[in-house]
Structure 1
Amino acid sequence: MTVSKSSQVRVKRKGQVTIPSVIRARLGIEEGSLLEVEEQRGAIVLKPAPPLKGGKVVGEETHKQVIRELDRLRRDWR
């Protein structure tokens, strides 16, 4: 386990925070990276999400699948 200096970050609008660049670089976090968020004993824990299987986020649908499902729901609603 790597022990590092703690830093403070300010919570911005919509709950956004900036992870210090040194930490992002060390953990390979870049724009678009997925992180797991947990609450543990009154603390917020962020950690890189495990690699995806098949290249998709769990529950992610293709564009065509979403359109088909919306069309089906519209037909059923009428």
Structure 2
Amino acid sequence: MSSSTGEGEVIRVSKKGQATIPKDLRERFGIDTPGKVLIHEEGGKIVVEPLPSVEEMQGAHAGRYKQGEVLEHLREMKEGDKRLEREREGPDRTR
């Protein structure tokens, strides 16, 4: 559940640290569901940026992003996902 203020929306964070990006913002910024966003700290604030889809990184849209920048973020996210999976599987799981 969220509530709107003059400077944004107040979003509830679950016990698992999950928050839902409001639909109007997802639509406005082109965040697909399911999909991924880049979250980082900038100037003491949390910044959430939509990651372009595979289609957006090809063809006519290819020049919109710095070479290697998005790919590096995607690689880091993939490694992070793998690390989380290993942690969830516990110490008994070996690779």
TM-score bucket (shorter structure): 0.5 to 0.7
Larger Rg: 1
Structure 2 unaligned regions, length at least 5: 1-5, 59-70, 79-93
What do the CA deviations read for 1:23-54 (whole angstroms, capped 9, x no partner)? 00111212221111101232111001244468
Q: Which has the higher contact order (CA 8 A, sep 6+)?
A: 1
Letter in 1 for 2:10: Q
**RMSD value, Cα:** 3.1
Q: What stretches of structure 1 move > 3 A for 4+ residues in a row?
A: 50-54
Q: Which residue of 2 aligns with 1:42?
A: 44
Shift of 1:5: 4.3
Letter in 2 for 1:39: E
State how 1:44-63 maps to structure 2 within 5 Å: 44-52=46-54, 57-58=74-75
Larger strand percent: 2
Given the alignment, which residue of 3, 7, 10 partners 2:9?
7
Name the CA distance, whole Å, in 2 between partners of 1:16 and 1:37.
13
What do the CA deviations read for 1:1-25 (whole angstroms, capped 9, x no partner)? xxx8411101112110011111001
Number of positions where the alignment pairs a residue of Structure 1 with one of Structure 2: 58
